[in-house]
Structure 1
Amino acid sequence: MSTLERAWCGLRAHPLALDAALAAGVLLCMVVGSFVVPRGANGVTWGVRAPDPLGLLLMTLGAAALVFRRRASMTVLVVTGTVSVIESVTGDPRAPVAMSAVVALYTVASTTDRTTTWRVGLLTMTVLTAAAVLGGPLPWYAQENLGVLAWTGIGATAGDAVRSRRAVVQAIRERAERAERTREEEARRRVAEERLRIARDLHDVVAHHIALVNVQAGVAAHVMDKRPDQAREALAHVREAGRSALNELRATVGLLRQSGDPEAPTEPAPGLSRLEELAATFRSAGLPVEVAGAGQSGVLPAAVDLAAYRIIQEALTNVRKHAGTGARAEVSVVRVGSDIEVTVVDDGSPDGAAEATGGGHGLLGMRERVTALGGTLTTGPRHGGGFCVHAILPVENRTGSRTETSTGAGTTAPGEPV
């Protein structure tokens, strides 16, 4: 940075010092201008004269008022305009005191609105020009009188242009800041949604497998002494459930890895293609599960496929935990028009069904998944005992176009099982 640039930055950091420097520069210009007088018939030769003491006093007062132009711009304009009028009607030949009024008018125009600029500018132009034309010693058509009119108009116009440019720059800056805040808020919202989705996945995985481990561990403890073969089989199921839980947790937490972390598992997220495998885990835990519509795997959006799987997983986990011994569950997945309907019912005891509706986050997590996809979820006890979970998930978006789909073979016609 050059010395001149450093000096300019220092002056801008101290507005009063900058205004004092401006006032000194204006005073110097007015004093120098007052020494020059045109001579000759055609006005191209110039001479030197000595300014009168009153003119020097008025120039000093006008320049001194400019030091306070930022603090009281309208008052400074009144003071400079007054000394300019006095100089116009008394000076002979006149000193350029009107220069201070032009600077003051520029300040008013650059710090107020356009309406005020028009009113104050026209009033200043009228008063100073009328004083020069009517009260001055020169003829009304003299170029000095026209110069007063022109320079006051230039001061008001330049100030209004600067104010408009500042407003445009400020508006652009505010729009940029607002856009930046919007991007940050959107990023935070997406992070929160992703955290919520991962939390739901972790809850579903942990609740499902821990329930199975708990059941199988109880069975192993019960038959350990009398039927060790069945106890070993139960412990094998416990080990398999633990391994599955770890694999799914690893896949879910792998979504949080950064670019420099080790590679995350590439195994796809579970979907309805693994519905029979899911049902088998519950059958091995002692819960009879019948599945309808699992033999025809259709092409579904990835989000819908995962949500349907998690809803069935959570519903069957609730059946195993709350429906009581001897309960049976039925799972149905059916394509109806542009929607897929998932139904999980059981014939457990009414007390167990009532217990399933209270406490915990299973039903809440299912409802959040369905709501995020624009579907509906209905849960409640069945007449005569048991519990029903019924979810309707839209397969197509509102415009009817297919969304991003998960891998699968073939398509499914409306009304057929998926």
Structure 2
Amino acid sequence: MRDHPLATDAVLALGALVSMVVGSFASPHGAHGPTFGTRTPATFSLFLMVLGAAALVFRRRRPRVVLAVTIGLSLLELTSGEPRAPVAMCAVIALYTLASRTDRPTTWRVGVLTMAGLTGVAMLSGPLPWYAQENIGIFAWTGMAAAAGDAVRSRRAFIDAIRERAERAERTRDEEARRRVAEERLRIARDLHDVVAHHIALVNVQAGVAAHVMDKRPDQAKEALAHVRDASRSALNELRATVGLLRQSGDPEAPTEPAPGLAVLDDLVDTFRNAGLPVKVMVQLGRSAADTAPLPAAVDLAAYRVIQ
């Protein structure tokens, strides 16, 4: 129906025409209610019904024009002096279409004018008294058409607003996810830089020692090379642990070792002591319990990286 709106409106117009023609054969003044087959519509009324149904085919393309045309056809039928035929149903459908596709003030202005115009002409023309049920029916149908169209328009606007908020929330969530990914990548890059810089500095020192004493003190050179091996192994282990954070859910399980902190400061200092550098560590503890309490993980890691 969305892909072929003109065909949909043509089917609706055909259904409206059939309903109007069938209704024109019914007489509402039977002894026990409406009766069929007691009257036949005039040719002029049938012609107006066909024109009104044809106008409904274009109700969504030109709603104002179609409403004006159907109101004119309804007024012609009401003032023709022929037995009443439900041509006004075309105006009812056209009024609903206009109400569902415009704003509320326009809906009620046009709706009140249509109700007053058609009902007033129906009451003042024809042999029936002004309070006849056909006249009241025109008033009721046009009022319900305006109200139903306004309700449909409000619901569509409400659904569109919800959809827009959902799309905006989705975009915001995606942007937040990308921002968090970028921050995590930056943090991992910093950790990688700290790890690599520390261990490459150790390897450089140990390699310099080994090159300096290779000829005169081969035993010390061998020890320095062993420290180079240990430092490179530690660098690989820390790189593996850091890069393990990037594993996906289906990848092998990441290492479960805790992040480095001041608790392993002695191991960090020993790597330099093994290179032959004199390193002294002085720890000054505070007097209050708050000063000796464990540091937050982020502060602990930052202090370790600074010393490293």
Where structure 1 has 5 or more consecutive residues not aligned to the other structure, the ranges are 1-10, 314-418
TM-score, scaled relative to structure 1: 0.68
Indicate yes or no: 2:298 matched with 1:308.
no
Partners of 1:294 and 1:195 in 2: CA distance: 35
The letter of the residue matching 1:72 is R
Q: Which residue number corresponds to residue 210 of structure 2? A: 220
Indicate yes or no: 2:207 matched with 1:185.
no
Q: Which residue number corresponds to residue 58 of structure 1? A: 48
Partners of 1:302 and 1:146 in 2: CA distance: 80
Q: Which moved more, 1:279-288 or 1:240-249?
A: 279-288
Q: Which residue number corresponds to residue 400 of structure 1? A: none
The letter of the residue matching 1:34 is S
In structure 1, which of residues 13, 18, 28 is the aligned counterpart of residue 18 of structure 2? Answer: 28
> For 1:348-398, what per-residue CA distance to the aligned partner results, in whole angstroms no more than 9, with x for missing partners?
xxxxxxxxxxxxxxxxxxxxxxxxxxxxxxxxxxxxxxxxxxxxxxxxxxx
Superposed counterparts of 1:218-367, under 5 Å: 218-285=208-275, 287-293=277-283, 298-313=293-308
Secondary structure of 1:291 counterpart: coil
Partners of 2:253 and 2:15 in 1: CA distance: 70
Whose helix fraction is larger, Structure 1's or Structure 2's? 2
The letter of the residue matching 1:140 is W
Deviation at 1:143, TM superposition (A): 1.0
Partners of 2:34 and 2:234 in 1: CA distance: 102
Q: Which residue number corresponds to residue 150 of structure 1? A: 140
Superposed counterparts of 1:383-394, under 5 Å: none
The letter of the residue matching 1:215 is V
TM-score, scaled relative to structure 2: 0.91
The letter of the residue matching 1:232 is K
Q: Which residue number corresponds to residue 93 of structure 1? A: 83
Contact 2:26 2:36 in 1 (8 A): yes
Q: 1:22 and 1:44, CA in 2 relative to 1: closer, same or farther beyond 3 A?
A: closer
Q: 1:44 and 1:69, CA in 2 relative to 1: closer, same or farther beyond 3 A?
A: closer
Indicate yes or no: 2:117 matched with 1:127.
yes
The letter of the residue matching 2:109 is R
> For 1:50-107, what per-residue CA distance to the aligned partner results, in whole angstroms no more than 9, with x for missing partners?
2112211111111111101111111111111111111111142111110000000000
Deviation at 1:293, TM superposition (A): 2.0
The letter of the residue matching 2:222 is R
Number of residue pairs matched by the alignment: 303
Secondary structure of 2:28 counterpart: strand
Contact 1:105 1:155 in 2 (8 A): yes
Contact 2:26 2:35 in 1 (8 A): no
Secondary structure of 1:68 counterpart: coil
The letter of the residue matching 1:83 is L
Q: Which residue number corresponds to residue 105 of structure 1? A: 95
Q: Which residue number corresponds to residue 176 of structure 1? A: 166
Percent of aligned pairs with the same residue? 74
Deviation at 1:258, TM superposition (A): 2.8
Q: 1:245 and 1:294, CA in 2 relative to 1: closer, same or farther beyond 3 A?
A: farther
Q: Which residue number corresponds to residue 379 of structure 1? A: none
In structure 1, which of residues 146, 152, 163 is the aligned counterpart of residue 153 of structure 2? Answer: 163
Partners of 1:309 and 1:175 in 2: CA distance: 45
Contact 1:62 1:100 in 2 (8 A): yes
Secondary structure of 2:281 counterpart: strand
CA RMSD across the alignment: 2.1
Q: Which moved more, 1:190-199 or 1:46-55?
A: 46-55
Secondary structure of 1:90 counterpart: coil
Deviation at 1:136, TM superposition (A): 3.4
Deviation at 1:166, TM superposition (A): 1.5
Contact 1:273 1:294 in 2 (8 A): no
Q: Which residue number corresponds to residue 334 of structure 1? A: none
Deviation at 1:171, TM superposition (A): 2.2
Whose strand fraction is larger, Structure 1's or Structure 2's? 1
Q: 1:87 and 1:236, CA in 2 relative to 1: closer, same or farther beyond 3 A?
A: same
Partners of 2:285 and 2:240 in 1: CA distance: 29
Partners of 1:183 and 1:266 in 2: CA distance: 30
Partners of 1:33 and 1:260 in 2: CA distance: 69
